[in-house]
Chains A and B, each alone.
Chain A
Amino acid sequence: MGMEGIGARVKRKEDQRFITGKGRYTDDFKMAGMHFAAFVRSPHAHARIKGIDKSAAEAMPGVVGVLDGKQLTGDGIGNIICGWMIHSKDGSPMNMGAWSALATEYVRYVGDAAAVVIADTEENARAAAGAVDVDYEVLPAIVDPAATLNAGAPQVHDNAPGNLIYDWEVGTDVKTVDEALANSVHVTEMEIRNNRLIPNAIEPRAALANYDMADDHFTLYTTSQNPHVARLVLSAFYQVAPEHKLRVIAPDVGGGFGSKIFIYPEEIVCLWASKRTGVPVKWTAERTESFLADAHGRDHVTKAWIGFDADNKITGFKIDTIANLGAYMSLFSSSVPTYLYAILMSGQYDIANVHCNVRAVYTNTAPVDAYRGAGRPEATYVVERIMETAARELGVDPAELRRKNFVRSFPHQTPLILCYDAGDYDATLDAALKAADYAGFPARRAEAEKRGKKRGIGLSCYIEACGLAPSAAVGSLGAGVGLWESAEVRVNPVGTVEVLTGAHSHGQGHETTFSQLIAERFGLPTDNVSIVHGDTDKVQFGMGTYGSRSGAVGMSAVVKALDKVEGKARKIAAHLMEADEADIVIENGEVKVAGTDKKLGWHEVCLAAYTAHNLPEGMEPGLKETSFYDPTNFTFPAGSYVCEVEVDPETGVTEVVQFVAADDFGRIINPMIVEGQVHGGVTQGIGQALLEHGIYTEDGQLVTASYMDYAMPRADNVPSYKLSTHETLCPSNPLGVKGCGEAGAIGSPPAVINAITDAIGNNNLSMPATPARVWAAMNG
Chain B
Amino acid sequence: MYDVNYHRASSVEEAASLMSRAEDGKFVAGGQTLIPTMKQRLAAPSDLIDLRHIASMKGIRVEGGKVTIGAATTHAEVAGSADIARVCPGICSLASHIGDPAVRHMGTIGGSIANNDPAADYPAAMMALGADIVTNKRTIAADDFFAGLFETALEDGEIITSVSFSAPVKCAYAKFANPASRYAMAGVFVARFDDGSVRVGVTGAGSDGVFRHKGMEDALTSDWNAGALDGVSVDEGMMLSDIHGDAAYRANLVKVMAKRAVAAAG
Contact = CB atoms under 8 A, between A and B. Distances in A.
A709 B183 CA distance: 11
Contacts of B1: 123
Contacts of A59: none
Interface in B1-49: 1-3, 40-41
A213 to B, nearest CB: 34
Contact of A651 (B41, B180, B246, B253): B253
Contacts of B246: 772, 776
* A123, A127, A703, A709 — most chain B CB neighbours (10 Å): A709
A745 B179 CA distance: 20
B243 A709 contact: yes
Given A703-B243, A772-B249, A651 B176 contact: yes
Interface residues of A, number: 26
Contacts of A707: 180-181
Given A695-B243, A775-B249, A776-B249, A650 B256 contact: yes
Given A651-B176, A708-B180, A775 B243 contact: no
B252 interface: yes
A288 B40 contact: yes
Given A691-B179, A711-B179, A651 B256 contact: yes
Interface in A699-740: 703-704, 707-712
**Chain B interface residue count: which class?**
10 to 19
Interface string B163-190: 0000000000000100111010000000
A414 interface: no
A32 B248 CA distance: 59
Contacts of A771: 176, 179, 245, 249
Interface of A: 123, 126-127, 130, 288, 650-652, 690-691, 693, 695, 703-704, 707-712, 770-772, 775-776, 779
B202 to A, nearest CB: 16
Nearest to A691: B179
17 contacts: A130-B41, A288-B40, A650-B256, A651-B176, A651-B253, A651-B256, A652-B249, A691-B180, A693-B243, A708-B180, A708-B181, A709-B180, A709-B243, A710-B180, A770-B244, A772-B246, A775-B252
Contacts of B40: 288
A704 B243 contact: yes
Contacts of B249: 652, 771-772, 775-776
A592 to B, nearest CB: 58
A445 to B, nearest CB: 23
Contacts of A693: 243
Contacts of A776: 246, 248-249
Given A703-B243, A775-B252, A776-B249, A126 B180 contact: no
Nearest to A648: B256
B196 to A, nearest CB: 28
Interface of B: 1-3, 40-41, 176, 179-181, 183, 243-246, 248-249, 252-253, 256
Contact of A709 (B176, B181, B245, B248): B181
* B3, B40, B180, B183 — most chain A CB neighbours (10 Å): B180
* A704, A710, A772 — most chain B CB neighbours (10 Å): A772
Contacts of B2: 123, 127
A775 B179 CA distance: 14
B180 A711 contact: yes
B40 to A, nearest CB: 7
Contacts of A704: 180, 243
A770 B244 CA distance: 8
Nearest to B181: A708
Given A650-B252, A693-B243, A771-B179, 5 more contacts: A123-B2, A695-B243, A703-B243, A709-B181, A710-B180
A585 to B, nearest CB: 57
A703 B181 CA distance: 13
A772 B240 CA distance: 13
Contacts of B256: 650-651
B32 to A, nearest CB: 13
The 6 closest A-B pairs by CB, nearest first: A711-B180, A772-B245, A711-B179, A708-B181, A772-B249, A650-B256
Nearest to B186: A651
Nearest to A768: B179
B112 to A, nearest CB: 17
Contacts of A288: 40
Contact of B179 (A126, A770, A779): A770
A178 B1 CA distance: 60
B119 to A, nearest CB: 10
Nearest to B249: A772
Contacts of A126: 41
A695 B244 CA distance: 11
B157 to A, nearest CB: 29
Contacts of A711: 179-180
B153 to A, nearest CB: 27
A284 to B, nearest CB: 14
A288 B248 CA distance: 31
Contacts of A691: 179-180
Contacts of B183: 708
A710 B181 CA distance: 8
Contacts of B3: 123
B118 to A, nearest CB: 13
A123 B4 CA distance: 12
B183 to A, nearest CB: 8
Nearest to A776: B249
Contacts of B244: 709, 770, 772
A776 B181 CA distance: 21
Nearest to A653: B176
A703 B241 CA distance: 14
Contacts of B41: 126, 130
A776 B245 CA distance: 10
Contacts of A712: 180
Nearest to B257: A651
A693 B3 CA distance: 35
Nearest to A652: B249
